[in-house]
A and B are shown apart, each in its own frame.
Chain A
Amino acid sequence: MATHEEIKFLNSPKIGLQRKKYCRFKKSGIKHIDYKDPQFLFKFINDQGKLLPRRLTGNSLKFQRKISQAVKKARHLAILPYVTDLLK
């Protein structure tokens, strides 16, 4: 019987594995999301200025809501655009 070492896989078995997603706010202990600095909020919007869904950002529900509130406030104050292309 071919032992484990001798079996040659076409590609490494690690490819299918999905990295464990974590909420960056719980991990780094950020408590308050400031709507005034756009650099931080850019991480959560795509290049059309739309909010990224939770399954992509990996945020917990509590912080995803805070992020969406902050982005909407920033949009109101014209710090972030409502819709654009090639934002970043």
Chain B
Amino acid sequence: MSNYETVFITTPVLSNDEYTRTVKKYTDLVEKNGGTLVQKEDWGIRQLAYPIQKKTTGFYTLLQFEADPQFIKKFEVEFKRDESIMRFLTSKFDKHGLAYAQQRRDKLNGKPRKTEA
């Protein structure tokens, strides 16, 4: 069970509930295959630095989860098959990355930092 982080961009053409449905599809996929979802972040619509598939904006979503390595291959095939996903990137966490993500999560969720607690 190692820690992974996936950021993916969905086309802005989708309506809101379609967007939530696709995100839910991936979170359920992680849960079903024995992974545990740690953090889900929606960055909403953001301007892309260069047009992808002739579109200049996209929904950004970040998924941080713990899963076993064989699952990642299946996960990425699912991304490739879905044409509403314009781009995705899965990266593995090393020791420092994990500590950084933990710190970032505390800051985001408004928990006081350990030093001040």
Contacts and interface: CB of A to CB of B under 8 A. Distances in A.
Interface of A: 31-32, 34-36, 73, 75-82, 84
B63 interface: no
Nearest to B60: A77
SS class, residues of chain B in contact with chain A: strand
Contacts, number: 37
Q: Which 7 A-B pairs have the closest CB atoms?
A: A31-B96, A81-B49, A32-B100, A32-B96, A78-B48, A78-B49, A32-B97
Interface of B: 7, 9, 48-50, 52, 58, 60, 62, 87, 89, 91, 94, 96-97, 99-100, 104
A76 B49 CA distance: 10
A86 B49 CA distance: 13
A73 B87 contact: no
Nearest to A84: B49
A81 to B, nearest CB: 4
